[in-house]
Amino acid sequence: MPVLTRDEAQTRARLLDVHRYTIHLDLTRGEEHFGSTTTIRFDVREPAADTFLELPATGLRRITLDGADLDPAAAADGRYPLTALTRGTHELHVEAEPPYSHTGEGMHRFTDPLDQATYLYTQCCLADAPAVFAAFDQPDLKAVFHTTVTAPPEWTVLGNGIATRAGDPAEGRWDIAPTPPISTYLMAVAAGPWHSVRAEHRGIPFGLHVRQSLAPHLDADAEELLTLTTRCFDRYHQKFDEPYPFDSYDQAFVPEFNSGAMENPGLVTFRDEFIYRSAVTDAERQTRAMVIAHEMAHMWFGDLVTLRWWDDIWLNESFAEYMGYQTLTEATQYTDTWADFAIARKSWGYDADQRPSTHPVAPAPEDVLDTAAAELNFDGISYAKGASALRQLVAWLGEKNFLAGINEHFARHRFANATLDDFIDSLAHACDRDVHAWAEKWLRTTGVDTLTPEINAEIDAETTPGGTSGTATPEGTPETAPESRPGAPGDGADRWRLTIHHHGSRPHHLAIGLYDQSPADGPDGLTLRERAETDLPADSTTHTLTRPGRRPDLILLNDNDLTYTKIRLDPHSWDTALNSLSGLPDPLTRATVWNAARDMVRDGALAPAAYLDAARAHLPHETTTPITHAVLTFARTHIADHYVTPEARPVALTTLTDLCRDLLARTENGGQGIRLTAVRTSIDSATTPDTLHDWLHAGTVPGGPDLDPELRWRILGRLAALGATTPADIDAELARDPSATGREGAARCHAALPDPAAKEAAWHALFEADDLSNYLFNATAQGFWQPEQLDLVQPYLARYYPAAVALATRRGTTLAVSAATHAFPHALVTDENLRLGEECLRTTGPTPTLRRRLTDQLDDLRRALTIRNTTY
C-alpha cells in the first residue's frame, strides 16, 4: 500500500468534510478473513473534485457511490480513485473481506494455546485503519463512528463507545454507541470471550478485560488497577477544565500487542504482559501505573484535540508522557516517579538524540512528508526528550501558567485538530514569557547539550569579620542556608567560584546541588548544603556563580533533573561520588549521578570497568528498585555484552554475579523488588551452569523467591546459551507451561542452543518460513545471537543483512522493526559487522523503517567499537 503524503492529505482536507462512518464487522467468516462493510457520509467543497479512498488492499467485493456501483477493479494497492465528484453531500459504500493479521497490525487474530479460545483486536495507528475498514485515512478528517459487530454468540465485543447486544443474543450482534468526532487511526474494536471486571466511577462505566487464561491474574490485580485508574481520572479532572470527553473507559489487555498501549478513545488497548502471571518488582508495577496514566492523558492530548499532521506527534506523546509521570506522582502511592523517569526512561531520549537519525521534538514539515517518515518518529525523542522538554518548560513557566495554556488549548480546539503553533499561542496567551522563542530553541533543534563545571577557590581580600562581600548568587531561593565547613579542596578560602561551561544551544533553568560529607550520617553520608536554581541563557558558553565559604564536596549540576542535558562532574566531585554515591539522600539525585556516569562511559570519558566498580561499591546499599534495575541493566547488557572485549567479559560477568550475591544477602528479610532484580541479573550473568541447575531442580532460589514460569524460562534460556540443557529439557518445560508465554520461552531457548542444527532451524523460521507471529519472531531472534557462541554464529553475519532487507519488504513494518532490533547481530561487535551494515545501507535499498533501525544499530555498534579501543 502506498504511503500517504502530506501534500495528498492537505489537498484532500481542502476538498472534503467527512461526517460519519457506519461500519459493520462480521467476525464469523472463518479463521482467515472477516467481513468489513463501511458507509461514509461526506461533503465535497469544490466541483469536479478528484480524490481517493483508502480501503483493504485485498478482498474488495463491492463499492458504490451514491447508490451507483463502481468497478472494484479500479482499486489498486489499497486505493480507490474518486474522480469528478460534484459539490455537496455524498455517500460511499464499501464491502470487503480482508485477511486477519498475525503481526499486530490491522485486525490481529490470536488463538490462546492454553484453551484454544480466539481473540481479535484492531490496531489502526498509524496508517493501518484501511486494513480494517474503508476510510479517508488522515488525522484531520475527523468524523463520528458508529460500529456494529457480528461475532460468535459467546463472545464479548468492546469498542470506542458503550457496546450492547442487539437483537437475539444467539445472533451475536453488537451495537457500539456512536462516538464524538475522532480520527480514523483511533477507531477500535476488541472481540473474544473476554474475562471482564467492571465498575462505575462518576457515572462512567469502567472495565478491565483479559483473555480467559489470564482471569486469575487480573482478578488478583483488579482492585489496584481500578484504584490507579480512578485516581488518575480524578486528578486529570482537577487539572483540566474539559471533562472526560467519551461515554465509557475500557482497558483491554490484549495478546501479541506491538506497543506498550494504544490510546483509542473509550477502549485503551495494552499489551497483556501488564497482567502479571509471575512475580514482578515494585518498579514494574510503577511502570504499568505510568502507562495507565499516560494513556488516560491521551483522552485529552490526542483524542479530544488531535494533531493535524504527523509532524506534531509530540503533541500527543510528549504530553502524555509528561502528564503520566506527573499525575502518578500527585495522585498515587508512586511518589518517586521522576527518579524512575530519570534513570529508566530519559536515557532513551539521550541515546536517540545522539544518533545520526536524530530529529527535533517538533520536526520541520519538510522532514515528515509522508506516513512512512512519520512512523519513524515514535521514538525516544518524541517520548522521553519531549517529556523532558515539557518538564523544563513547567520549571521555567510555572505550573499555573502551563495549565492555563493547556486549558485554553482544549477550549479552542475541542474535537478538532491543532498544530504546534496553535499550542504555543495558547501558552503565550497565558503568561508574559516568550514561549515562541523557547519553542524554537527546545523543539526545533537536535542534539544534547552538555554542562561541565569548573571550580576555583579564592581568597576575598574585601572579606570582613562576620560576612563576605562581592558574591553573585543564583536566582531562586536556596533550600538551606550556606555554611562553611572544613575538609575539602579550598580550605582557608572565603569563597569559591563555579563556572559552568555550556556546550549547546538551549536555555536551561536548572538546580545546582551542593553536598558536604557528613560524619554524623556515617563515613559515606552526604548532606545537602544548598540547592539553588539558576537560568543559563541560550547564547552563553559560560555561566559563573560565586558562593561564600569553602567548596562543597560534591557539586551536582541539574540536581532534581529539571532540564534535559548531559552533565559532567569535576574531579573532586567525582571522587566524592565514587566514595559516597549511595549516601546521597534523594533517589532523584542519585539517579542524576548514575546518569552522568552512564553518559561518561558512552562518551569514552569513563572506563566501563570503573562503572562496574562503582556499581559493585554502591548498589548493595541502594534502596530503590528503579535505580538498581537500571544500573544492573546497563552494566549487564551494554558493558558486559558490548563495551568490554570478549577476553574481559568473564571478569565483568563475575563482578555482576558477586554484586548480585551481595544484594541477595542484603534482601533476605525485605526489599523484594531489589531481590528479584538481583535474581534475574544473577541468572543472566552466570558463566557456569551449576548454580542454575541447583535452583531449577529445587524450584526455588535459596531464601526465595520460588521459581515461577518467568524465572524458570529465564534459567533455561541461560542454560541453553551455556550449552547446559537439551531440546528434550526445553520441550518438557513447554509441556509444564504450554501458555503463549511458554511457547515464546521455548522458541527463545531452542534458538539459543549451541548446536548447528538448532541455529539453522531458527534461521529458517526467522527469515525463510514467514509463518511466525510477531511475538514468536521476537523470541526466536532474542535467542539466536549469543556472545558465548561467537564462532557458531559468525557465518550467519553475511547472511543477515540481505535476509533482513528481503524480510522487511515481504512482511512489512512490524517485522522490519523486529529484524533490525531483536534479530540484529548484537553479539558480533566487530569491524566486519559494521562494514557489512554500512554496505547494506549504501547498496541494497532497505525499506525506510529498516534503514532507520539499522542506522541506529550501526551507530551503537560504532560507539561500542570506539569504547573498546579507548585507552583509559
Question: What residue ranges in 160-292 does DSSP mark as E strands?
Answer: 163-165, 173-176, 189-192, 195-201, 204-210, 249-254, 261-262, 267-271
**Alpha-carbon dihedral sign for residues 88, 93, 98, 103:** positive
Peptide bond before 205: cis, by omega within 30 degrees of 0?
Answer: no
**β-sheet bridge partners, residue 513:** 531, 556
Report the C-alpha gap between 231 and 324 in whole angstroms: 12
User: What one-letter code names the amino acid at 229?
Assistant: T
301 and 320 in contact (C-beta within 8 Å)? yes
Sheet of 554-559: strand order equals 526-536, 508-517, 554-559
Whether residue 525 contacts residue 519, with contact meaning beta carbons closer than 8 Å, is answered with yes
Q: What angle do CA 134, 266, 54 make, to 5 degrees?
A: 10
160 DSSP assignment: S
Provide the 3-class DSSP secondary structure of residue 750.
Answer: helix
In this structure, what are the phi and psi dihedrals at residue 566, rounded to the nearest 5 degrees? -80, 145
- CA dist 116 and 22 (Å) reads 32
Which residues have CB under 8 Å from 10's CB, separation 6+? Answer: 309
Question: Which amino acid, one-letter code, is at 502?
Answer: H
> What is the grid cell recorded at 651?
571478569
Strands (E), 202-304: 204-210, 249-254, 261-262, 267-271
CB-based contact 627:587 (threshold 8 Å): yes
Kindly report whether the peptide bond that precedes residue 126 is cis, defined as omega within 30 degrees of 0.
yes
Terminal CA-CA length for the chain: 52
Which residue, among 66, 58, 69, has the nearest Cα to 97 in the 3D structure? 58
CB atoms under 10 Å from CB of 475, counted, come to: 9
Using CB atoms within 10 A of its CB, is residue 858 exposed (0-12), middle (13-18) or buried (19+)?
buried
Q: Which of 295, 321, 375, 744 is catalytic?
A: 295
Alpha-carbon distance 833 to 551, whole Å? 48
Task: Report the C-alpha gap between 715 and 698 in whole angstroms.
Answer: 12
Q: How far apart are CA 863 and CA 829, in angstroms?
A: 10
Residue 561's nearest CA partner among 329, 735, 237, 252 is: 329
295 tagged catalytic: yes
Catalytic residues: 295
